[in-house]
Structure 1
Amino acid sequence: MTGPAPIAVVGPTGTGKSELSLDLAQRLGGEVVNCDAMQQYRGMDIGTAKLPPSQRRGVPHHRLDVLDVSETASVADFRREAEREIAGIRGRGNVPILCGGSMMYIQALVDGWSIPDTDPGVRARYERRLEEIGVRALHAELARVDPEAAGAILPTDPRRTVRALEVVELTGRPFSASRPTIGEPRWGTRLLGLRCALPELDARLGVRTERMFTDGLVAEVRGLVASGLLEGVTARRAIGYAQVLEEMDDDLGIDDEAVARALERTVIGTRRYVRRQRSWFGRDHRIRWIDTDVHTSAGDRVAGGRTPLETALDLLGEAGR
């Protein structure tokens, strides 16, 4: 595969990855490859902070709106399809801009992480087990067969717990054994990370979550139920969507107090996820970090008088020398 080296824009939720990716794409002649698992789902727009087409500045985007909410997202499927998109972008002489915070999706591309594809029968069995005993008990079962994986997965994370058990059964090896070695990035990919001090980022996430609910997240969830959200495995567990679903009654009704609870729990869930992202990406020594504190969007100037784009271009120039 030949062509321009990709640029990966990674980091926690709410740090401005989408805006910087657009800036880089416009400046360097790029196309964006979405690396956010939940933005792959059609109709999951408000709760995933997906940029609407009108805000994409004419930049081509790939791997957005490619799944129905009833379908299961998998790292293996994503890697296969994203590799095809990257080859096409490079073949056109453009720069692939890999944008997203889904940790395994990024690493699957940059490090060629080969994760076994899902087995519907095995997955369904662990899903049933989850319903029977709950996530904490299932997590305890994971701890007995793969302590290292259990230590890296929150005991409140049903999706990753089920997936780890599935991989253990399919491969006969610990889930942790499938982790890639961090080495030379594929295709010469340059990795840029956006970060923000936690107090400011927490405040941003609170404001952003309130805006999602104001903009109609509850109505979006209700509409997606009609499209098969409850029949799916992955989409219904997305942060925000899961919290709204848990507060809805059997007729999909939800009162103001329940909405307030869903909002608060969404904020808490998002903040927990951000801490996992910080820990995961923080272990990757290849990432060049850009601080986005004390500003409201990726295009604003930070305290030092420089925008994230200006800093990114400097870092990319250093990498090329």
Structure 2
Amino acid sequence: MTTPIRPIAVIGPTATGKSDLALDLAQRLDGEIINIDAMAQYRGMDIGTAKVPVPERRGIAHHQIDVLDVVDTATVARYQQAAEADIEAIRERGRRPVIVGGSMLYVQALLDGWQLPPTDPAVRARWEEVLRIGGTEAVLAELRRVDPVAAATILPTDGRRLVRAVEVVELTGRPFAASAPTKGQPRWETHLIGLDRETELLDSRIALRTERMFDTGLIEEVEQLIPLGLRDGVTARRAIGYEQALEVLDGTMTRAEAIETTAAGTRRYVRRQRSWFRRDPRIVWFDPGADDLLARVLDGLAAAGE
């Protein structure tokens, strides 16, 4: 009997070099890549999401990239269903799924088979209106009242997740954390490869990458997305870098301020990613700054029975 093909997930904080490793693994192991970064799903959002340009993808098929318009709302549920189908199809073709990205809830939903808690459009709309009128502090105040543990763990500026937490508590009568999946054997026996760098070095990489994004046309990219509905998007317009570029175009922020705010927001996001992923004992961690990263990862896969 043929041994089922085990996917490889390359995950971890932003700006650690995950895309390069994923391409190397896919090329070496006859794989296809599945994006697991929420904002890379949006068509036209290329510079600010650091997508690998098509000519640099080495002819390797990429999935779950450029599958949404900027007016669409990115949801974990849609991604989970679509990515599951991609993995099954790639394995049926006898090829290796290589999952790459750092969106924490997406990783957990896909690899732990998260049965997502219910949603209700009317309840969601009511709390989104509270968010619109009173800002994140108004939603956070309610979450502190009904679920102080969740209020302490969700970033105070993450309005969408605050709204979702309040919605879940209202609909289920249970704490938000009660809907989180348990960590067992990852689905498809996926190998979990984590990349991380020393904080000071990663902060420097983030600063350089942010400067490069603005230098290579992030503001112009956002300007082109406005007629396509970027301002109306629930999730796309709030992406780190895109929100700041919109403010530059609106005259409420200078370019220099946008660069610094984007870099600071990315650093905060990296801290959250690191805290989230480091709690998962299944992840095998690698320092991408050391020599022969691909060889070390392949040795680790061999030791795991590949």
Normalised by the size of structure 1, how large is the TM-score? 0.91
CA contact (8 A) 2:130 2:138 kept: no
CA contact (8 A) 2:13 2:273 kept: yes
**What residue is the counterpart of 1:282 in the other structure?**
278
Q: Distance between the aligned counterparts of 1:318 and 1:118, measured in 2? A: 42
**What residue is the counterpart of 2:93 in the other structure?**
92
- Say if 2:252 is the partner of 1:259: no
CA contact (8 A) 2:240 2:265 kept: yes
Q: Note the alpha carbon deviations across 1:139-175, whole angstroms, 9 max, x for none.
A: 1211211122112101111121112122223333221
Mapping for residues 194-205 of structure 1, pairs under 5 Å: 194-205=195-206
Give the counterpart letter for 2:301 in structure 1.
Answer: L
**What residue is the counterpart of 1:268 in the other structure?**
264
Q: Distance between the aligned counterparts of 2:5 and 2:149, measured in 1? A: 38
**What residue is the counterpart of 1:212 in the other structure?**
213
Mapping for residues 102-141 of structure 1, pairs under 5 Å: 102-116=103-117, 118-141=119-142
Q: Distance between the aligned counterparts of 1:66 and 1:171, measured in 2? A: 31
Comparing 53-62 with 110-119, greater Cα deviation is found at 110-119
**What residue is the counterpart of 2:37 in the other structure?**
36
**What residue is the counterpart of 2:144 in the other structure?**
143
How many Å apart are 1:247 and its aligned residue? 3.7
- Say if 2:284 is the partner of 1:307: no
Secondary structure of 1:248's match?
helix
How many Å apart are 1:66 and its aligned residue? 0.3
How many Å apart are 1:14 and its aligned residue? 0.3
Q: Distance between the aligned counterparts of 2:296 and 2:162, measured in 1? A: 38
CA contact (8 A) 1:192 1:287 kept: yes
Give the counterpart letter for 1:99 in structure 2.
Answer: V
Mapping for residues 171-190 of structure 1, pairs under 5 Å: 171-190=172-191
Distance 1:73 1:117, change over 3 A: farther
CA contact (8 A) 1:38 1:235 kept: yes
Q: Distance between the aligned counterparts of 2:39 and 2:119, measured in 1? A: 17
Q: Distance between the aligned counterparts of 2:100 and 2:120, measured in 1? A: 28
**What residue is the counterpart of 1:298 in the other structure?**
none
Distance 1:118 1:218, change over 3 A: farther
- Say if 2:5 is the partner of 1:9: no
Q: Distance between the aligned counterparts of 1:76 and 1:95, measured in 2? A: 23
- Say if 2:43 is the partner of 1:45: no
Q: Distance between the aligned counterparts of 1:246 and 1:126, measured in 2? A: 25
CA contact (8 A) 2:11 2:100 kept: yes
Secondary structure of 1:320's match?
coil
How many Å apart are 1:115 and its aligned residue? 1.5
Q: Give the share of equivalent positions with the same residue, in percent.
A: 60
Q: Distance between the aligned counterparts of 1:247 and 1:139, measured in 2? A: 28
CA contact (8 A) 1:159 1:237 kept: no
Give the counterpart letter for 2:20 in structure 1.
Answer: E
Aligned residue-pair number: 304
Gapped regions of structure 1 (runs ≥ 5): 294-301
Secondary structure of 2:282's match?
coil
Q: Distance between the aligned counterparts of 1:126 and 1:101, measured in 2? A: 27
Normalised by the size of structure 2, how large is the TM-score? 0.96
How many Å apart are 1:248 and its aligned residue? 3.2
CA contact (8 A) 2:80 2:109 kept: yes
Q: Distance between the aligned counterparts of 2:7 and 2:156, measured in 1? A: 35
Q: Distance between the aligned counterparts of 2:171 and 2:50, measured in 1? A: 34
RMSD after superposition: 1.5
CA contact (8 A) 1:76 1:114 kept: no
How many Å apart are 1:230 and its aligned residue? 1.2
Secondary structure of 2:254's match?
helix
How many Å apart are 1:182 and its aligned residue? 0.9
How many Å apart are 1:123 and its aligned residue? 2.4
- Say if 2:287 is the partner of 1:291: yes
CA contact (8 A) 2:37 2:100 kept: yes
Gapped regions of structure 2 (runs ≥ 5): none
Secondary structure of 1:42's match?
coil
CA contact (8 A) 1:3 1:91 kept: no
Give the counterpart letter for 1:203 in structure 2.
Answer: S
**What residue is the counterpart of 1:226 in the other structure?**
227
